[in-house]
Chains A and B, each alone.
Chain A
Amino acid sequence: MNETRLSRRNFLQMAGLSAAGVALAACAAPVAPQEGAGDMEGGAEPQTVQFYTLVWQPGAVEAAQAAIDGWNAEHGSRITAEYIQGGWGQARDYLTTSIAGGVTPDIVHGITAWANEYGTQGGYLDLTELINNSGLVETTHPKALDAAVSPLDGKIFSVPWCWEVGTMYVNADRFHEAGFELPLDGWTWDDFIPAAKELTSPPEYYGLAANLTATQTTEDIIAWMWQTGAEVMGGSGQNWEIDVQPAREALQLWHDMLWVDEILSQESFGGSNTLEAFGLGIYTMRQTGCWARRIVMEAEPEFEWHMVPLPHYKRHANSSEPQTWSVATDSTGRGTVDAAWEVVLWLSNDENSSAIAYGDWLFPTSVKAMEDPRFTTTEHSWDVALREVEHGVGYPKHPAWAEFDDRLLGPNIQKYLQNEMTLDELIDLLEVEGTKILQEYQV
């Protein structure tokens, strides 16, 4: 063999070319495995299914991990489930980029509104047939299942497994001292306003706090808009419209609570910590979901509080969005759809969904699981929240909703509440610009 010396210059050239080659190779698109490549054949490696979850309260994280451990203990030789911890704050960015990059985890936690949005755009699989053949239709609460059905095409892109309700937390001591009964069985706007006026004493304490920050305004006000009978965005198929006129009364009410009656604290606009302030008595009432009970209790263990329904008006409604498991379209390329579906069914069974929901201070969507005494007890107001499930309303399931909400509804309600525009201007803007957004998506 000819032996040649490799000079330093040659070596550097080769190194440069190799580095360039590696860089190019690293940038090349990954080759998707053939469908079914991961299937076990004659003792082959088990398939791995990625499970991306957004559970965050300690009890829920523990229960979700236990469910995955349980699956792996029973079925790990065939299908291994891999737990991936996500967070609600980053979930949308993560999912959007994952779907665009073709690397979405097999099972994705979310809410029905997101599932419909991503599903309609092709990021999640249509699970209609799998759900119809699984028995979930019979066991899941009809309202939760309805929320998962896309009104555009009737497809179901997610399995609802738990949900929460929008409620009002009240300072029980202050209610009693002022001679008001706790409205455990419900109350109306006419009951609420006089009580809130009586229970406000600015700047020492305010009757009500909400979360009116950029991303949360809609969440806290929309239930009041629904209570007027407004759908905000309603329709089916290709016929959708913006319907905010009836919501004038709700918007006016919130404006008056801020500027006329001084019931609502202006700190709601910037307050990520109004929940803790509620525990300190700075607010008599704090509107939020039933998930927040642990935080209130842990912040002020001695504080006497109670959870009551949201005041209702023409309609009894609270904001309630079922949480879901979806199967990513990317699973098709990895050949893991069937395996992912098996794990979804495992996570959605009564035992696991109840444990995870309970750990998150929420309800399972299984009718049978909701009868579990843990969810019907009067302790920590579970019974009040359970009754409110029947009045839960979810966000409109139209792909234009996210843009309408983030771009128009939330910011402009903030502007109206901060006196940057009149109510008429707000309604006109929402109708005109909202209709444009709808048309754009419908095209």
Chain B
Amino acid sequence: MSTKSLSVPMPEGLERLSRRLSNRHITPYYYLLPTVIPLLLLTVYPLLRGIYLAFTQYNLYNKDTTLVGTLNFIELTTNDTLFWGALANNIIWTVGIVVITYVLGLFTSIALNENIPLRGLFRGLALIPWVCPAVVAALTWRWIFDPHFGMLNYALMEIGLIDRQIGWLGDKNTALAATMIVAIWKLLPFSVVMLLAGLQTVPEELYEAGAIDGAGVLGRFRYITVPLLNRVGKIAILLTTIWAFNHFDSVYVLTGGGPGDTTMLLSIMSYLNAFRFFKIGYASAVGVIMLILLLLPITLYTRQVLEDVE
């Protein structure tokens, strides 16, 4: 026996409420509630609250939400000895990661798009960094970078590139680059997947036509692959930019922002102010500045996604 409705007795009040709520124009919005309410509570509210707190001197203990105007922002940009250095680190870090991740991702995806032996296996292996938890990855890399027991020093000494151990994470000249390597390793699979998906949408006939017209490998890459990857490439770059700029976990685990302030990023600065010094208002101001700086890539990304939908 099949039935399309449940036979349940309804109290009169509930029935009246049900009829009132059954308006065809209103009904669809109810179906959105289970999604919209968590979104409002877990994303929109914390965002607005964070922005509000940036204009207060809210402390985890005093919970004083008196507005102090732009005091936190003035203090950050004029008196804080860490802020400009951290911002510069963030820019170097983000640009470096985005460029290297994109270039490596492009070549890796092209290789994985070719009909090579064990292609499926290599495609699977390429995803491993993505599925590896960030902190686990950072701890593993810390061992790799270890001056005495690390694989990196061992390998470089074996092939004669260095003649003494280097403390990659402790040396001011190498620490930022070392932490960037870990972030690139972690973000690379995303670029590979995106670009590989883009490559698979390029019709084979275009390459055949290009070859007939006399285009070599580089010519086909320049005039067919690159333009047709433009859209998916832009999304990959924008998302990588956002993630790199916001990055926190691996740097915090690897160096904690040191040595000195060499790897101090805005995210770590915000964290320290919030959870070490309890200055939530001040930490929120750092977060708001990060948000403002990210608005451009976020806007571009949203526009690109909407264009794609249309």
Q: Which A residues contact B (CB, under 8 angstroms)?
A: 1-14, 16-17, 19-20, 23-24, 27, 92-93, 96-97, 99-100, 121-123, 203, 212-215, 217, 266-274, 276-277, 280, 282, 402-403, 406-407, 410-412, 414-415, 418, 420, 429, 433, 436
Residue from A5, A24, A402 having most chain B Cβ neighbours under 10 A: A5
- Cα of A4 to Cα of B12 in the assembled complex, Å: 9
Q: Is B154 at the interface (CB under 8 A from chain A)?
A: no
Given A212-B170, A269-B259, A272-B146, 6 new contacts (CB under 8 A): A7-B5, A13-B30, A19-B34, A122-B61, A213-B258, A271-B167
CB pair B278–A96 under 8 Å, yes or no, is yes
Instruction: State the total of A-B contacts with C-beta under 8 angstroms.
Output: 168
Q: Is B21 at the interface (CB under 8 A from chain A)?
A: yes
Task: Specify the main secondary structure of chain B where it touches its partner.
Answer: loop
- Cα of A364 to Cα of B10 in the assembled complex, Å: 68
Q: Is B142 at the interface (CB under 8 A from chain A)?
A: yes
The count of residues in chain B whose C-beta lies closer than 8 Å to any C-beta of chain A is 55
Mark each residue of chain B from 2 to 16: 1 if its CB lies under 8 Å from any CB of chain A, else 0: 001111111010010
CB pair B276–A411 under 8 Å, yes or no, is no
CB pair B170–A10 under 8 Å, yes or no, is no
CB distance from A280 to the nearest CB of B (A): 8
CB pair B22–A9 under 8 Å, yes or no, is yes
If A13-B30, A407-B277 touch, does A213 touch B170 (CB 8 Å cutoff)? yes
CB distance from B9 to the nearest CB of A (A): 5
Mark each residue of chain B from 236 to 269: 1 if its CB lies under 8 Å from any CB of chain A, else 0: 0000000000000000000111111100100000
Q: Is B304 at the interface (CB under 8 A from chain A)?
A: no
- Cα of A214 to Cα of B276 in the assembled complex, Å: 14
Q: Give chain B residues whose Cβ lies under 8 Å from the Cβ of A272.
A: 142, 146
CB pair A24–B6 under 8 Å, yes or no, is no
CB distance from B20 to the nearest CB of A (A): 10
Can you name 21 A-B residue pairings with CB atoms under 8 Å?
A1-B9, A2-B15, A4-B10, A11-B6, A23-B37, A92-B276, A203-B165, A212-B259, A213-B255, A213-B256, A214-B256, A214-B259, A215-B256, A217-B258, A266-B171, A269-B259, A270-B146, A402-B276, A406-B277, A420-B260, A429-B81
- Cα of A165 to Cα of B260 in the assembled complex, Å: 27
CB pair A16–B18 under 8 Å, yes or no, is no
Q: Is B183 at the interface (CB under 8 A from chain A)?
A: no
Which residues of chain B from 25 to 57 have a CB within 8 Å of any chain A CB?
Answer: 27, 30-31, 33-34, 37-38, 41
CB pair A23–B9 under 8 Å, yes or no, is no
Q: Give chain B residues whose Cβ lies under 8 Å from the Cβ of A215.
A: 256
- Cα of A99 to Cα of B275 in the assembled complex, Å: 11
If A92-B276, A96-B275, A411-B258 touch, does A19 touch B33 (CB 8 Å cutoff)? yes
CB pair B149–A270 under 8 Å, yes or no, is no
Closest to A217 in B: B258
CB pair A267–B165 under 8 Å, yes or no, is yes
CB distance from A233 to the nearest CB of B (A): 15
CB pair A414–B259 under 8 Å, yes or no, is yes
If A23-B38, A403-B276 touch, does A6 touch B170 (CB 8 Å cutoff)? no
CB distance from B43 to the nearest CB of A (A): 13
If A99-B60, A123-B61 touch, does A418 touch B272 (CB 8 Å cutoff)? no
Give which listed residue, B18, B62, B142, contacts A10 with CB less than 8 A.
B18
CB pair B9–A9 under 8 Å, yes or no, is no
Closest to B81 in A: A433
CB pair A266–B167 under 8 Å, yes or no, is yes
- Cα of A214 to Cα of B272 in the assembled complex, Å: 13
CB pair B33–A16 under 8 Å, yes or no, is yes
CB pair A203–B164 under 8 Å, yes or no, is yes
Give which listed residue, A4, A13, A214, A273, contacts B9 with CB less than 8 A.
A4
CB pair A270–B7 under 8 Å, yes or no, is no
Which residues of chain B from 201 to 253 have a CB within 8 Å of any chain A CB?
Answer: none
Q: Is B303 at the interface (CB under 8 A from chain A)?
A: no
- Cα of A268 to Cα of B81 in the assembled complex, Å: 25
